[in-house]
Each structure stands twice: as structure tokens, then as C-alpha cells.
Structure 1
């Protein structure tokens, strides 16, 4: 398959995606209209349809979602504004106070060629760290300890984050592109 467009409102996301797809990917910043869909799956579909209407080329987007158990599995895919307003150290303190540090990271990748949407989805389960550790452009990575590990995503080297939902969907997408030229 030729060049594919990745649409996102964050260039940092492109920096994470580019190593998987090499020279076959380009990036366009797109501030998506907020439609407040309840489901991040539908949000991803909405975004690729909106982007395709503008660019008219095969493209994909990624919609991550964070589910904090003690918050009733919120904030969902609106986690970026949540993390900006509710700092990681507060999230850690509340998890200790609530005695519930369960957390999940979901990731949806939707590819759209103008005719058909192809979906990739992954889930990572973990716990909230006692305090934020490490630095990442994803604010929740400093508090998310994946199941079976002792370090937060932000403390891990990138090659050690193979259980992260974003890594899983990008790996599946890479394989899909190799088998669907």
C-alpha cells in the first residue's frame, strides 16, 4: 500500500506511530470536532470519516481510552483533558484513599480507505502507581503500571512496552498493511 495519512491533534502521537510504518506514513494535524460520543470506538470512526472528507486519501487515527476503576471507569477517551486538569499525583492519592488502583488503557486504531473501515483494538490492564514516576508525553504513562511489571510505562524503555495497547494495535496494523498491499 502506498503512503498513508495519520491524523491526530498531537504531533507526539505521530512520533510514536512513525517507527512502525517508516516512510509509508505522513502526518496531518487535525483538531477534530468534539461530538461527545460515549464510545471511543464510535469516536474513532467519526474522526476518520471527518478526516477522509477533508483529505480524500487512505488514513488512520488512534483513539486511546483510560478507565480508572474508582472513577466508574472514567474518563474514557477524554483522558487528555482529564489528565491535564487532574494531575497524576492526585490520581495516585485518590487510588490509595479509595483502596482501588485498578486501571485499564484501551486503544482503537481505525483505518479508512474511503470505502471500508478496518478496526484494531487492544486492552492493557494494570494498577495506579503510588506516585507518578518517569516522564512521557502521555500524562497517564507516569502512573500506569502494567500487570506483571513493577515500573510505570514512563519508566520503561520503549522496546519494553510491548504490552501497551498502542503497541499492540500498531503491530497488528503493520501486519495488516503488509498483507493488504
Structure 2
């Protein structure tokens, strides 16, 4: 019996941590994830969907091969969903410490992480969303992960993403949820 060949899919990101997280999942789906370490072009928009659609189309026009791009945001209830699609910018400007200061004295620390992943090829553009609910810690905890991982505690767990290994984080993560949805779709899809 002939062994099934691995499918290849390109991930466009300049973030090596995102590649590592997603690559560990891809292995379980007989998918070879190819990392294109190029910055994705992003528009400033109020929704992750708009941002990722634009990025995917630009990347596809440059590479001309089936690919995925993703964008994630941290949405904090007490801050009316801030920083949302501006999460990366806000992290660079005020950091996790700034988010903790904004929530100082706030009892409602509910938040969610959302990822929207776009797959594009010559015939379609399809979106996949992953979301994980949790809360913002009162202090930075853990040195693993990236972004806001050391201040986000998923519901049902007492650890921040920053205190979890990649394998542990992938059990809960918004990115893992979106990527698994895409991989399940890919398993049944033929170009």
C-alpha cells in the first residue's frame, strides 16, 4: 500500500513562534507547513477578517501559490474590546504592563483571544476563526510563548499561556482552533 504523500501549505508570517506552534499541529494532519518568513502587508481596520483577507490576497499575488495567513487579537471586555485588531501595535507601544495598568482596580478581567486564518488559492479565499475565552492576570506570569501569552489565562486553567509549553497551549489556543478547522477542511478539499 502506497504511503499518502504529505500536503504542503505555505504559511506567510514573520513570526517564528506562530510557525512553530502551527507546525507542531500540522504534523498530526500529514501536512508539511512551509514557512515564508516575509512580513505580511496589513491594512488598518476594525476587524481581523478585513485585515487577513487583504493580507492573503496581497501575499497570493506575490507568491502565486496556495497559502495561509492569520491575524490575532486580544479583546478585553472592560475595555470595550480593546486592543482587538490593534493588539500588536498596542503591545509594542505600552506592552503587557500597560494593559495591566489599564485594568488596575477593575474586577471584570474577562477577555478573549481571536484568530482569523485565511486560506487562498487560485479559486477561493476562505476564512477560519478560532476563539478562546479567559481573563487577564494581575501580573506577568511565565516566559514561554509570545505576545500577550504571559497575561492571558484561558477559562478552566490556572496558568497563563506564558506558563504553558507549546503542546499545552495548543490544547486551548485560538490559533490552534482556527488552524485545526483549516486542516480538517484541507483534508477534504482538492484544488
TM-score, normalised via structure 1 length = 0.90
State the 1:126 CA deviation: 0.8
3-state SS of paired residue (1:66): strand
Is this contact kept in 2: 1:4–1:26, CA < 8 A?
yes
Give distance in 2, aligned partners of 1:12 and 1:160. 15
Using the alignment, how far apart are the partners of 1:11 and 1:157 within structure 2? 16
Matched, 1:5 2:5: no
Q: Which residue of structure 1 aligns with residue 135 of structure 2?
A: 127
CA distance in 1, matches of 2:128, 2:81: 21
Moved more, 27-36 or 168-177: 27-36
Is 1:67–1:73's contact at 8 Å kept on the other side of the alignment? yes
5+ unaligned residues in a row in structure 2: which ranges?
A: 1-5
Give the equivalent residue in structure 2 for 1:110. Answer: 118
Cα RMSD, aligned residues only: 1.8
TM-score, reference length from structure 2: 0.86
- Corresponding residue number in structure 1 for 2:187: 178
Gaps of 5+ in 1: none
- Cα distance in structure 2, aligned partners of 1:140 and 1:68: 12
Q: Deviations over 1:65-118 (max 9, x none)?
A: 111223221112221221122222332243232333121100111111121112
